[in-house]
Amino acid sequence: MRIAIGADHAGFDLKQHLLTYLRHMGHDVIDAGTHSDDPVDYPDYAEALSQAVLDGRAERGVLICGSGVGASVAANKIPGIRAGLCHDTYAARQGVEHDDMNVLVLGARVIGIALAHELVNNFLAANFCGEERHRRRVKKILALEKRYGKPGSGV
Protein backbone atom coordinates (compact mmCIF):
# COMPACT_ATOMS: atom_id res chain seq x y z
CA MET A 1 0.00 0.00 0.00
CA ARG A 2 1.14 3.57 -0.66
CA ILE A 3 1.20 5.47 2.64
CA ALA A 4 2.09 9.07 3.45
CA ILE A 5 3.53 9.72 6.88
CA GLY A 6 4.08 13.11 8.46
CA ALA A 7 4.73 14.68 11.83
CA ASP A 8 5.64 17.84 13.62
CA HIS A 9 8.73 18.04 15.83
CA ALA A 10 6.98 16.28 18.75
CA GLY A 11 6.12 13.33 16.52
CA PHE A 12 9.42 13.24 14.62
CA ASP A 13 11.01 10.30 16.48
CA LEU A 14 7.89 8.13 16.24
CA LYS A 15 7.52 9.07 12.56
CA GLN A 16 11.08 7.97 11.85
CA HIS A 17 10.46 4.67 13.60
CA LEU A 18 7.16 4.06 11.77
CA LEU A 19 8.71 5.04 8.45
CA THR A 20 11.23 2.21 8.84
CA TYR A 21 8.58 -0.18 10.18
CA LEU A 22 6.18 0.47 7.29
CA ARG A 23 8.90 0.03 4.68
CA HIS A 24 9.98 -3.19 6.38
CA MET A 25 6.36 -4.38 6.12
CA GLY A 26 6.56 -3.85 2.35
CA HIS A 27 4.68 -0.57 2.03
CA ASP A 28 5.65 2.26 -0.31
CA VAL A 29 6.02 5.23 2.06
CA ILE A 30 6.08 8.95 1.28
CA ASP A 31 7.76 11.05 3.97
CA ALA A 32 5.78 14.31 4.22
CA GLY A 33 8.15 15.73 6.86
CA THR A 34 9.24 17.15 9.18
CA HIS A 35 12.83 16.06 8.81
CA SER A 36 14.19 17.00 12.23
CA ASP A 37 13.07 17.66 15.78
CA ASP A 38 13.40 21.43 15.35
CA PRO A 39 10.12 23.15 16.33
CA VAL A 40 7.64 23.46 13.45
CA ASP A 41 3.90 24.04 13.06
CA TYR A 42 1.78 20.88 12.78
CA PRO A 43 -0.76 22.37 10.31
CA ASP A 44 1.99 22.53 7.65
CA TYR A 45 2.59 18.78 7.89
CA ALA A 46 -1.10 17.94 8.15
CA GLU A 47 -1.53 19.79 4.86
CA ALA A 48 1.45 18.14 3.14
CA LEU A 49 0.32 14.65 4.16
CA SER A 50 -3.30 15.35 3.25
CA GLN A 51 -2.33 16.63 -0.18
CA ALA A 52 -0.49 13.37 -0.87
CA VAL A 53 -3.67 11.45 -0.01
CA LEU A 54 -5.96 13.76 -1.99
CA ASP A 55 -3.87 13.78 -5.16
CA GLY A 56 -3.53 9.99 -5.13
CA ARG A 57 0.18 9.69 -4.36
CA ALA A 58 -0.85 7.85 -1.18
CA GLU A 59 -3.86 5.68 -0.42
CA ARG A 60 -3.81 6.55 3.29
CA GLY A 61 -1.88 8.68 5.72
CA VAL A 62 -0.39 8.44 9.21
CA LEU A 63 -0.03 11.80 10.93
CA ILE A 64 1.71 12.36 14.27
CA CYS A 65 2.07 15.22 16.73
CA GLY A 66 2.56 15.38 20.49
CA SER A 67 -1.01 14.65 21.59
CA GLY A 68 -2.50 14.03 18.16
CA VAL A 69 -5.21 16.62 18.79
CA GLY A 70 -3.78 19.56 16.86
CA ALA A 71 -2.82 17.47 13.86
CA SER A 72 -6.27 15.88 13.84
CA VAL A 73 -8.03 19.25 13.95
CA ALA A 74 -5.83 20.61 11.14
CA ALA A 75 -6.22 17.57 8.87
CA ASN A 76 -9.98 17.53 9.29
CA LYS A 77 -10.20 21.09 7.97
CA ILE A 78 -9.14 19.78 4.55
CA PRO A 79 -12.09 18.64 2.42
CA GLY A 80 -11.80 14.97 1.54
CA ILE A 81 -9.74 14.08 4.58
CA ARG A 82 -11.33 11.99 7.30
CA ALA A 83 -8.72 11.87 10.04
CA GLY A 84 -9.19 10.00 13.29
CA LEU A 85 -7.12 10.35 16.43
CA CYS A 86 -6.81 6.79 17.71
CA HIS A 87 -5.19 5.40 20.83
CA ASP A 88 -6.91 1.99 20.72
CA THR A 89 -6.96 -0.71 18.06
CA TYR A 90 -10.75 -0.92 17.84
CA ALA A 91 -11.04 2.74 16.79
CA ALA A 92 -8.17 2.40 14.31
CA ARG A 93 -9.99 -0.43 12.54
CA GLN A 94 -13.57 0.72 12.97
CA GLY A 95 -12.75 4.24 11.78
CA VAL A 96 -11.91 2.79 8.38
CA GLU A 97 -14.67 0.18 8.29
CA HIS A 98 -17.54 2.52 9.21
CA ASP A 99 -16.29 6.08 8.60
CA ASP A 100 -13.96 5.58 5.63
CA MET A 101 -11.15 7.18 7.63
CA ASN A 102 -8.18 7.87 5.36
CA VAL A 103 -5.75 9.40 7.88
CA LEU A 104 -4.74 7.85 11.20
CA VAL A 105 -3.57 10.41 13.75
CA LEU A 106 -1.32 9.40 16.63
CA GLY A 107 -0.12 11.21 19.74
CA ALA A 108 3.58 10.50 20.15
CA ARG A 109 3.55 11.68 23.77
CA VAL A 110 0.55 9.47 24.55
CA ILE A 111 1.39 6.07 23.06
CA GLY A 112 4.47 3.89 22.80
CA ILE A 113 6.05 2.17 19.84
CA ALA A 114 4.39 -1.23 20.34
CA LEU A 115 0.91 0.33 20.45
CA ALA A 116 1.76 2.51 17.43
CA HIS A 117 2.57 -0.68 15.49
CA GLU A 118 -0.76 -2.23 16.45
CA LEU A 119 -2.70 0.91 15.58
CA VAL A 120 -1.05 1.22 12.18
CA ASN A 121 -1.55 -2.49 11.48
CA ASN A 122 -5.27 -2.30 12.30
CA PHE A 123 -5.71 0.91 10.28
CA LEU A 124 -4.00 -0.49 7.20
CA ALA A 125 -5.68 -3.91 7.35
CA ALA A 126 -9.19 -2.45 7.49
CA ASN A 127 -11.44 -1.67 4.54
CA PHE A 128 -14.57 0.44 4.30
CA CYS A 129 -17.45 -2.00 4.69
CA GLY A 130 -19.71 -0.16 2.23
CA GLU A 131 -22.93 -0.96 4.08
CA GLU A 132 -25.74 1.41 3.12
CA ARG A 133 -25.93 3.08 6.55
CA HIS A 134 -22.20 3.83 6.51
CA ARG A 135 -22.25 5.10 2.91
CA ARG A 136 -25.16 7.35 3.89
CA ARG A 137 -23.22 8.77 6.85
CA VAL A 138 -20.08 9.41 4.81
CA LYS A 139 -22.23 11.21 2.21
CA LYS A 140 -23.56 13.39 5.01
CA ILE A 141 -19.99 14.21 6.04
CA LEU A 142 -19.21 15.21 2.45
CA ALA A 143 -22.35 17.39 2.43
CA LEU A 144 -21.15 19.10 5.62
CA GLU A 145 -17.83 19.84 3.93
CA LYS A 146 -19.66 21.52 1.05
CA ARG A 147 -22.06 23.42 3.30
CA TYR A 148 -19.45 24.66 5.78
CA GLY A 149 -16.42 24.81 3.50
CA LYS A 150 -15.67 28.37 4.60
CA PRO A 151 -12.65 29.14 6.77
CA GLY A 152 -13.38 28.73 10.47
CA SER A 153 -13.29 31.55 12.94
CA GLY A 154 -10.20 31.79 15.03
CA VAL A 155 -7.57 33.97 16.58
Catalytic, out of 65, 87, 129, 134: 65
Residues 26 and 36: their CA atoms lie apart, in Å, by 24
Q: How many CB atoms lie within 10 A of CB 75?
A: 27
Say whether 86 is catalytic. no
**Residue in 9, 17, 35, 98 annotated catalytic:** 98
117 given a catalytic annotation? no
Give the Cα separation of 93 and 97 in Å (integer): 6
Residues recognised as catalytic: 65, 98
